[in-house]
């Protein structure tokens, strides 16, 4: 077996690849559904219905997609520079924690005008996420420490830190022993987009940020440096591009986006912070970024897809009796599938020769 | 200070050290085998979960404990084969493939657990490995070793075995060479793809066993999140160990000693003047791993072909 | 017995191999007699490497058969090739730097699942083989510590140790000094006396005529000629190889101008790129100064220093009297044109389109961006002009740059580098192995551009391992050995022998040469 590079990469092939990967994933996971003793067609139909079948279902999917767009963007930006930020989960939590610190009822900043306080809350969340990733980024640039392991380990540290704060100084005294922060000032909450639903304006902010990232990558010198450093850091350094600065800035943006995902959850959905706020949004972001081919606009589509699987599976498991962990399996399988599909847009396999 | 001495001098402390170290030894040796052949395997976290689940499941269904260990190794090897297919045969990103594998193995284990036990609220239990009381008569190490199970002894015995295989046997030479310069392996008529695939499968089997230790020896049931980052710690420990089995053992023991110490410190109130939140103690192992990475990264002599896919005819 | 010995050592029948649109080998049939030296001659890309890769089992031919001593050779299996007695000395040595000589030799020679390696027996056999062929080696030495010549010796010993009867040498002299090449030819003669048959791959005509009994010439994947070496002329081979006449550019003597690049007793930190050790050199406007040396003697460190990538630890580097910061942009701003050694890994970002690579060095300047926004129109117009001016063949400036051929890629890099000063000419050109791996037409084109630039007043520093190239276009030459530079003498004052000695570290007494001149 040998891989042979295709002479050109067709644009259509690149666009079709994620869909083929998803289709393959659903076929494979059908076996798991059958194993659980449920009818495959009906289970998938219920899943689809649970995600898109009603106004409520759709609104839930979009609500779930909001943080996923942001963590997906966080991964996409970092991966573009070949900086493997696997720490979005931790960055999301510290972002949420910072938002609560600034915006909680009865906080020290209550005297400030709400608009200023809102801006401050967003900024604090973004800064907290960025700061958490600055450490691994500096270690990578300065000492060549692999960022994958450091960001992974930081997730555990960040979560323990948040737990410590929710047990201690930031604990809501009215929560009766449950580790939970005080609620956010209602004035700072993100407005609802649809009546009788949980969709909030965080969705608009996330989409706007995706568009902004797309523009930055394509039309600015920083975006060029980001792409060049990711594709070939040695060549980028030779051409005089500021490799270390680009990596650091890319990492800060990535961390800030993940931090904002946490702010959005607190300000748009939960209004206070608990330790089970994120069902692995940070890790799902990696899958979303890969499904999107690291394209910031593609992230929106991929995030809606992943959100629909998660939301649909919850509703499906209630009626069909298939465990909702099926959603996690689908998400993980589609990551591996897109990896392979992406390769086939660039290479073909020749079996006869080695 | 004397209280600290009491802790470290107690056999209970060393019993805990060996118990905490055991899965790390298996896991670190597993990562080491993969990386000596030139392949990063971030699937370890998920492979450990899968090993913990599969090993426990067959024992729960009536198989004997060693069959459980074997099945865990088999599950690990199969997941390793997936990783090898993606990274070695197709040359895909070792980072992303490994993470994908972790997500896949973890979610599959959760799904399978829920399908097998839809309605249980308390985790079903098994009868785990018993301590090897026969060893407690040994001088000096007896008390600590006698409280361990056969799996710990297996882990300790594997260290010299793996070191021997790598340094003294033809297949070990092929593995090391594949991690240094795959072209040289191919030029001597040995298949790089086969060597790397074999090393990843063997390493992943050890990772599976590392997981099985948790359900078959350390505890007696399967919980979600029971691996809890131990796999990532193994990846860091391999760098700390400079890819040497002996140093890997040392690293695992050192790490376990710190972990055991922080557990004791949490429980003993009088040692520190202030009562610290327990989360700070729990953070310690992770912080320690990062520090180890940073300290060693600068002088680390990486296998030269680590993370470089090999394609025939390309240089 | 007599029929057996009448069989050729090797017989290739109708070998064809296609890579996508490229027909790398087209119906090639060849024979190698016992005890014969067959030279395989051809330009880069003519199909020599593909053919020997098929022979050694790295590739499988689409069509054709191979027989070794009358026995068919199973395709695509290096182990089978080794077992049949074929040994290969790769151009890029297939050795692991961190392992010992013995490790490298032994790999693959034992059953893999033996519980312990029989090292002492292998060691004895290696020493025996080494003694028999006069190739001294320390079995326990780490490859990384050996010189290039010693590593090649290990490659040859590896094949002999496995009992090779047919030895393929891929461009074996490309990395050696003239003296080391002489030594290698002596070894080859010894191998022939022991009854081995050799295939010698090269594009150096003099060498080919000297070493071989017979010459086979490949061009564009086809076998275009087979001649006995005796009675064949250099010119005849050259024409067969290229298929047309290429006018090599000629050098005209000029009066050099002021000092542009001054390197004064510079040492750099030792790292994986080697180091410089109190090196001094001056390059003046209008002259081409070449650095000759065997790979790994500090060329990389010199190139990184002169490209603004690393700083000197001791000593002073100045461009037109000014000490520049070790940042490429500072050097680019000072109109230093830089051509890196490895065009794929360092010269371009292969995944990005041609137009972005064309402006990558100067994207941050007002010509191509404003307030951080790329001026796409200006950048694309510049790229189109560059493509036209340097005759770069491609299907559009939006294709990924990795799709370009080596020659076109090098022209893109050269064009980008020479445009470093915008409308004005570059002040200084640093060219590291500028023609490595290119075909003769592209080589002539690159040489012409460099000579033109020098004629236009640019100072040129060229680092090269190709002595023919150096003799063809350099005005002055310095040898580099273990980070030390010899005096840069006019090219006429060097002979291949004296340059070879200097490349091997023999101290050159400049006075002596000056006296001779």
What token pair was written down for A61?
């999917």
Average pLDDT over residues A70-99: 97
Total domain count for chain A? 1
> Which contiguous run of DSSP H or E holds residue C461?
strand C459-464
Among A24, A75, A142, A329, most B C-beta atoms within 10 A, so best to mutate, is A329
Q: Closest approach of chain C CAs to the CA of A224, in angstroms?
A: 8
Task: Reduce the DSSP state of residue C445 to 3 states and report it.
Answer: helix
Q: How many beta-carbon pairs below 8 A join chains B and C?
A: 89
CA closest to A351 among chain C residues = C60
The whole-angstrom separation of Cα C452 and Cα C435 is 16
Residue A13, domain member (yes or no): no
Q: Which of residues 349-368 of C touch A (CB under 8 A)?
A: 349-352, 356, 360-361, 363-364
Using CB atoms, pick whichever of C82, C94, C99 lies closest to residue B183.
C94
Chain B residues with beta carbon closer than 8 angstroms to that of C92: 183, 315
pLDDT, one tens digit per residue, over C385-423 is: 999 999 999 889 999 998 898 889 999 999 999 999 888
Cβ neighbours of residue A11 closer than 8 Å, sequence gap 6 or more? none
Domain count across chain C: 2
Can you tell me the distance from the alpha carbon of C43 to that of C22, in angstroms, rounded to the nearest whole number?
16
Distance CA A241, CA A236 (A): 5
Q: For chain B, what are the domain ranges?
A: 2-116+150-297
Q: Is the pLDDT of residue C510 over 50?
A: no
SS3 C202: strand
SS3 C65: strand
Q: What is the CATH number of domain B2-116+150-297?
A: 1.10.3470
Chains that touch A (3 or more CB pairs under 8 A): B, C
Question: Which residues in chain B land under pLDDT 50?
Answer: 314-315
CA C149-C151-C154 angle, 5° bins: 115
Place of tokens 């200023």: A116
- Give the burial class of A24: count Cβ atoms within 10 A of its Cβ; 0-12 exposed, 13-18 middle, 19 or more buried: middle
Predicted confidence band of residue A353 (pLDDT cuts 50, 70, 90): very low
SS3 C35: coil
List of chain C residues whose C-beta atoms are within 8 Å of the C-beta of residue A221? 363-364, 369, 372-374
Cβ distance of A156 and B311 shorter than 8 Å: no
The answer to whether C482 and C298 are in contact (CB under 8 A) is yes
pLDDT band at C515; cut points 50, 70, 90: very low
In terms of pLDDT, which residue wins out, C22 or C372?
Answer: C372
Report whether B170 contacts B41 (CB < 8 A). Answer: no
pLDDT at C1: 41
Residue C232 sits in the same domain as residue C278: no
CATH number of the domain residue A275 falls in = 1.10.3470
- Structural domain including C133 reads 2-242
The answer to whether residue A177 is domain-embedded is: yes
Of A149, A157, A339, the CB nearest to B96: A339
What is the C-alpha to C-alpha distance for residues C10 and C32, in angstroms, rounded to an integer? Answer: 5
pLDDT per position as a tens digit, A312-329: 999 999 888 899 999 999
The answer to whether residue C290 sits within a structural domain is yes
A321 part of contact set with chain B, CB < 8 Å: yes
For residue A257 the two structure tokens come to 């986006």
Tell me, what's the pLDDT at B314?
47
C220 and C308 in a common domain: no
Select the residue of B104, B114, B298 nearest A333 (Cβ to Cβ): B104
Whether the complex's predicted ipTM is more than 0.90 is answered with: yes
What pLDDT, on the 0 to 100 scale, is given for residue B270? 62
Q: What string of DSSP letters covers A189-250? A: SPPBSSTTS--BTHHHHHHHHHHHHHHHHHHBHHHHHHHHHHH-HHHHHHTT--HHHHHHHH
Measured between CA atoms, how close is A190 to chain B, in angstroms?
Answer: 32
Distance of residue B142 Cα from the nearest chain A Cα, in angstroms: 35
Q: How far is B91 from chain C (nearest CA, A)?
A: 17
Cβ neighbours of C429 (radius 10 Å) = 29
Q: Which of residues 230-259 of B touch A (CB under 8 A)?
A: 232-233, 235-236, 239
> What's the domain range around A107?
37-322
Residue C85 lies in a domain: yes
Q: CA torsion C333→C338→C343→C347, rounded to 10°?
A: -10
pLDDT at position C95: 95
Q: Are residues C178 and C309 in the same domain?
A: no
| DSSP string for B247-303 | HHHHHHHHHHHHHHHHHHHHH-SSSSSS---HHHHHHHHHHHHHHHHHHHHTT----
What strands lie across the sheet with C214-219, from one edge to the other? C86-89, C166-170, C197-202, C37-41, C214-219, C222-228
Res. C77: pLDDT tops 70: yes
Q: Which residue has the tokens 């991964």?
A: A75
3-state secondary structure at position C425? coil
Question: In the prediction, which pLDDT does C5 show?
Answer: 58
pLDDT at C4: 52
The residue with greater pLDDT, B165 or C272, is B165
Helix (H/G/I), strand (E/B), else coil: C362 = helix
Q: Is B181 within 8 Å of C97 when comparing Cβ atoms?
A: yes
Average pLDDT, chain C: 91
Judged by CB atoms within 8 Å, which residues 118-177 of A form the interface with B? 139, 143-146, 148-150, 152-154, 156-157, 160-161, 163-164, 167-168
- Cα–Cα distance between C483 and C274 in angstroms, integer? 7
> Which whole-number Å values give the CA distances from A168 to A104, A165, B274, C348, in the listed order?
15, 5, 15, 54
Which DSSP string corresponds to chain B? -HHHHHHHHSHHHHHHHHHHHHHHHHHHHHHHHHHHTT---TTHHHHHHHHHHHHHHHHHTT--HHHHHHHHHHHHHHHHHHHHIIIIIS---HHHHHHHHHHHHHHHHHHHHHHHSSS-SSPP----PPP-GGGGGSTTTHHHHHTS-HHHHHHHHHHHHHHHHHHHSHHHHHHHHHHH-HHHHHHTT--HHHHHHHHHHHHHHHHHHHHHHIIIII-SS--TT-STTHHHHHHHHHHHTTT-HHHHHHHHHHHHHHHHHHHHHHH-SSSSSS---HHHHHHHHHHHHHHHHHHHHTT----TTTT----TT--
Instruction: Read off the pLDDT of each residue in C7-22 and give the average, rounded to a whole number.
Output: 90
Residues A10-54: tens digit of each pLDDT: 678 888 899 999 999 999 999 999 999 999 999 999 999 999 999
User: Residues with Cβ < 8 Å from C209, sequence gap 6 or more?
Assistant: C215, C229, C232, C234, C237
A325 touches chain B (CB under 8 A): yes
pLDDT for B207 equals 98
Q: Contact A234/C329, CB-based, under 8 Å?
A: no
Residue A94 CA to residue A161 CA, distance in Å, equals: 9
Q: Average pLDDT, stretch C463-485?
A: 93
Closest Cβ–Cβ partner in B180, B185, B315 for C97: B180
Q: What is the CATH number of the domain that holds C29?
A: 3.40.50.300
Task: Calculate Rg over the CA atoms of chain C.
Answer: 25
Q: Count of A–C CB contacts within 8 Å? A: 80
* Same domain for C307 and C224: no
Cβ within 8 Å, pair C349-A224: no
- Which tokens go with A132? 């958490």
Q: Which domain-ending residue is among C242, C275, C290?
A: C242
User: Looking at beta carbons, which residues of chain B come within 8 Å of A353?
Assistant: none
CA dist A230 and A289 (Å) reads: 15
Candidates B213, B255, B301; CA nearest to B36 is: B301
String of DSSP letters for A108-156? TTTTS-HHHHHHHHHHHHHHHHHHHHHHHHHHHHHH---HHHHHHHHHH
Flag if C114 and B169 touch (Cβ within 8 Å). yes
pLDDT score of A194 more than 90: no
Burial environment of residue C490 by CB neighbours within 10 A (0 to 12, 13 to 18, 19 or more): middle
pLDDT of C512 reads 43
Give the helix ranges, DSSP H, for C297-350: 299-306, 328-333
Residue A296 domain-assigned?
yes
Cβ atoms of residues B143 and B11 within 8 Å: yes
Neighbours of C405 (CB within 10 A): 15
Cβ distance of C78 and B186 shorter than 8 Å: yes
Q: Is residue A128 part of a domain?
A: yes
pLDDT digits (tens, 9 = 90+) for A238-264: 999 999 999 999 999 999 999 999 999
Which position has the token pair 């979005």?
Answer: A88
Number of helices followed by number of strands (H, E) in chain C: 18, 22
CA-based nearest distance A192→chain B, Å: 33
Q: Are residues C173 and C265 in the same domain?
A: no
A238–C contact, CB cutoff 8 A: yes
Q: Is A28 on the interface with B (CB under 8 A)?
A: no
Percentage of chain C with pLDDT > 90? 72
- Vertex C423, ends C417 and C427: CA angle to 5°? 55
Instruction: Indicate the helix (H) or strand (E) that contains A30.
Output: helix A11-35
Please check whether residue A76 lies inside any domain of the structure.
Answer: yes
In B, which residues are within 8 Å of C99 by CB distance?
A: 173, 176-177, 180
Whether C151 is in a domain gets the answer yes
Sequence-ordered list of residues with C-beta below 8 angstroms from that of C340, at least 6 positions apart, any chain: A238, C303, C307, C346, C347, C413, C432
> What SS3 state is found at C45?
coil
Distance CA C480, CA C203 (A): 24
Enumerate residues 6+ apart whose C-beta is below 8 A from C353: C397, C398, C399, C400, C401
The answer to whether residue C254 sits within a structural domain is: no
CB contact under 8 A, C60 and A353: yes
Q: C250 in a domain, yes or no?
A: no
Q: What is the nearest CA distance from B190 to chain A, expressed in angstroms?
A: 13
What is the signed CA dihedral for A170, A175, A179, A185, rounded to 10 degrees?
-50
Contact A231 C350 (CB under 8 A): yes
SS3 A181: strand
Nearest CA in chain A to B108: A329
Tokens matching residue C382: 């510049």
pLDDT reading at A88 higher than 90? yes
Strands C459-464 vs C288-292: parallel, antiparallel or unpaired: parallel
Cα–Cα dist C370/C193, whole Å: 71
CB distance from C74 to chain A under 8 Å? no
Q: Nearest C-alpha of chain B: how many angstroms from C12?
A: 21
pLDDT tens-digit profile of C308-365? 999 999 999 999 999 999 999 999 999 999 999 999 999 999 999 999 999 999 999 9
CA atoms within 13 A on the CB side of C501: 8
C270 plus C236 within the same structural domain:
no
Which contacts of B116-120 are long-range, i.e. CB under 8 A and separated by 24 or more positions?
Answer: B116/B57, B118/A321, B118/A323
């Amino acid at each position: 077996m040998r891989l042979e590079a295709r002479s050109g990469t067709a644009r259509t092939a690149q666009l079709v690849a994620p869909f083929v990967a998803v289709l393959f994933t659903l076929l494979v996971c059908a076996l798991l559904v059958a194993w659980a003793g449920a009818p495959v067609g009906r289970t998938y139909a219920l899943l689809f219905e649970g995600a898109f079948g009603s106004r409520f279902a759709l609104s839930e999917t979009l609500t779930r997609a909001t943080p996923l767009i942001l963590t997906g963007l966080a991964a996409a930006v970092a991966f573009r520079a070949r900086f493997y930020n696997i720490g979005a989960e931790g960055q999301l939590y510290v972002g949420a924690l910072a938002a609560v610190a600034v915006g909680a009822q009865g906080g020290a900043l209550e005297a400030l005008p709400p608009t200023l306080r809102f801006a401050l809350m967003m900024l604090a969340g973004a800064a907290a996420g960025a700061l958490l990733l600055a450490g691994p980024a500096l270690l990578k640039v300065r000492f060549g420490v692999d960022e994958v392991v450091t960001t992974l380990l930081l997730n555990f540290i960040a979560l323990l830190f948040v737990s410590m704060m929710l047990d201690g100084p930031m604990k809501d005294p009215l929560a009766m022993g449950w580790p939970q922060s005080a609620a956010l000032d209602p004035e700072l909450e993100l407005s609802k987009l649809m009546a009788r639903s949980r969709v909030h304006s965080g969705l608009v902010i996330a989409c706007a940020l995706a568009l902004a990232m797309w523009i930055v990558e394509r039309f600015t010198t920083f975006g060029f440096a980001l792409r060049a450093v990711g594709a070939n850091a040695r060549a980028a350094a030779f051409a005089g591009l500021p490799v270390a600065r680009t990596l650091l800035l890319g990492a800060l943006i990535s961390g800030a986006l993940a931090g904002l995902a946490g702010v959005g959850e607190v300000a748009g959905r939960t209004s206070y912070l608990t330790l089970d706020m994120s069902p692995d949004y940070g890790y799902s972001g990696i899958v979303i970024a890969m499904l999107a081919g690291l394209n910031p606009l593609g992230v929106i589509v991929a995030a809606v897809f992943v959100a629909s699987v998660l939301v649909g599976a919850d509703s499906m498991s209630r009626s069909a009796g298939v465990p909702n962990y099926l959603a996690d399996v689908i998400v993980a399988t589609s990551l591996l599938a897109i990896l392979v599909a992406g390769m086939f847009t660039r290479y073909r396999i020749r079996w006869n020769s080695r | 200070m004397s209280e600290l001495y009491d802790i470290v001098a107690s056999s209970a402390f060393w019993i805990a050290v060996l118990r905490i170290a055991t899965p790390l030894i298996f896991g670190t040796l597993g990562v080491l085998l993969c990386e000596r052949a030139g392949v990063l395997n971030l699937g370890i976290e998920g492979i450990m979960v899968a090993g913990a689940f599969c090993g426990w499941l067959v024992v729960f269904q009536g198989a004997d404990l060693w069959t459980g260990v074997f099945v865990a190794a088999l599950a690990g090897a199969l997941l390793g084969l997936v990783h090898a297919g993606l990274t070695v045969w197709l040359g895909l990103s070792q980072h992303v493939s490994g993470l994908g594998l972790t997500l896949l193995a973890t979610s599959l284990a959760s799904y399978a657990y829920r399908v097998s036990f839809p309605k249980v609220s308390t985790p079903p239990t098994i009868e785990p490995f018993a301590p090897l009381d026969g060893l407690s008569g040994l001088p000096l190490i007896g008390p600590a070793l006698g409280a361990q199970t056969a799996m710990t002894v297996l882990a300790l015995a594997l260290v010299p075995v793996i070191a021997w295989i790598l340094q003294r046997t033809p297949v070990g030479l092929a593995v090391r060479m594949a991690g240094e310069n795959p072209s040289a392996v191919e030029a001597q008529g040995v298949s790089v793809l086969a060597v790397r695939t074999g090393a990843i499968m063997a390493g992943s089997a050890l990772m599976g066993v590392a997981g099985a230790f948790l359900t078959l020896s350390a505890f007696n049931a399967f919980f979600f999140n029971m691996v809890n980052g131990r796999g990532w710690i193994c990846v860091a420990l391999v760098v700390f160990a400079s890819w040497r089995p002996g140093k890997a053992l040392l690293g695992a023991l050192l790490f376990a000693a710190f972990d055991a110490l922080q557990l004791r410190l949490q429980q003993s109130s009088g040692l520190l003047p202030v009562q610290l939140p327990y989360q700070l103690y729990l953070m310690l192992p992770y912080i320690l791993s990062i520090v180890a990475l940073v300290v060693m990264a600068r002088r680390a002599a990486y296998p030269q072909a680590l993370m470089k896919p090999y394609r025939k005819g390309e240089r | 017995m007599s029929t057996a010995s009448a069989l050729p050592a090797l017989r290739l029948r109708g070998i064809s191999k296609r890579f996508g649109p490229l027909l790398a080998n087209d119906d090639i049939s060849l024979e190698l007699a016992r005890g014969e030296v067959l030279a395989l001659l051809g330009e880069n890309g003519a199909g020599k490497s593909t053919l020997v890769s098929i022979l050694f089992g790295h590739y499988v031919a689409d069509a054709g058969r191979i027989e070794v001593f009358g026995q068919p050779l199973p395709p695509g299996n290096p182990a089978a090739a080794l077992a049949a007695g074929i040994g290969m000395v790769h151009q890029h040595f297939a050795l692991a730097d961190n392992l010992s000589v013995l490790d490298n030799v032994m790999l693959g020679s034992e059953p893999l699942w033996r519980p312990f390696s029989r090292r002492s027996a292998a060691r004895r056999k290696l020493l025996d083989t080494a003694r028999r062929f006069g190739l001294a080696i320390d079995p326990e030495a780490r490859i990384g510590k050996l010189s290039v010549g010693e590593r090649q010796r290990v490659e040859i010993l590896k094949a002999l140790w496995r009992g090779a009867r047919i030895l393929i040498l891929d461009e074996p002299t490309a990395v050696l000094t003239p003296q080391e090449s002489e030594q290698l030819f002596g070894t080859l003669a010894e191998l022939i006396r022991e009854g081995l048959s050799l295939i010698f791959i090269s594009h150096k005509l003099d060498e080919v005529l000297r070493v071989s009994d017979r010459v086979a010439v490949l061009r564009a994947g086809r076998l275009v000629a087979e001649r006995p070496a005796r009675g064949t002329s250099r010119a005849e081979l050259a024409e067969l190889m290229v298929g047309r006449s290429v006018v090599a550019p000629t050098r005209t003597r000029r009066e050099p101008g002021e000092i542009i690049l001054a390197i004064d007793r510079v040492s750099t930190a030792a790292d994986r790129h080697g180091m410089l050790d109190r090196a001094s050199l001056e390059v003046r406007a209008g002259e081409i100064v070449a650095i000759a040396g065997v790979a790994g003697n500090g060329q990389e460190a010199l190139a990184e220093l002169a490209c603004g990538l690393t700083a000197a630890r001791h000593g002073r580097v100045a461009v037109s009297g000014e000490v520049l910061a070790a940042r490429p942009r500072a050097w680019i701003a000072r109109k230093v044109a830089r051509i890196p050694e490895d065009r794929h890994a360092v010269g371009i970002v292969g995944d990005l389109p041609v137009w972005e690579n064309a402006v990558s060095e100067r994207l941050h300047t007002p010509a191509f961006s404003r307030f951080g926004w790329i001026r796409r129109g200006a950048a694309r117009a510049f790229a189109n002009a560059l493509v036209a001016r340097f005759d770069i063949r491609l299907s559009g400036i939006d294709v990924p740059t990795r799709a370009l051929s080596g020659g076109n890629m090098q022209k893109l890099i050269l064009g980008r580098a020479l445009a470093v000063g915008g409308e004005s000419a570059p002040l200084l050109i640093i060219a590291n192995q500028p023609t490595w791996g290119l075909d003769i037409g592209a080589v002539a084109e690159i040489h012409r551009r460099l000579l033109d630039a020098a004629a236009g007043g640019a100072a040129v520093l060229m680092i090269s391992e190709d002595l023919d190239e150096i003799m063809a276009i350099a005005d002055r030459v310095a040898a580099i050995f273990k980070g030390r530079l010899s005096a840069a003498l006019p090219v006429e004052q060097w002979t291949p022998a004296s340059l070879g000695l200097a490349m091997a570290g023999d101290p050159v007494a400049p006075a002596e040469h000056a006296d001779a001149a």
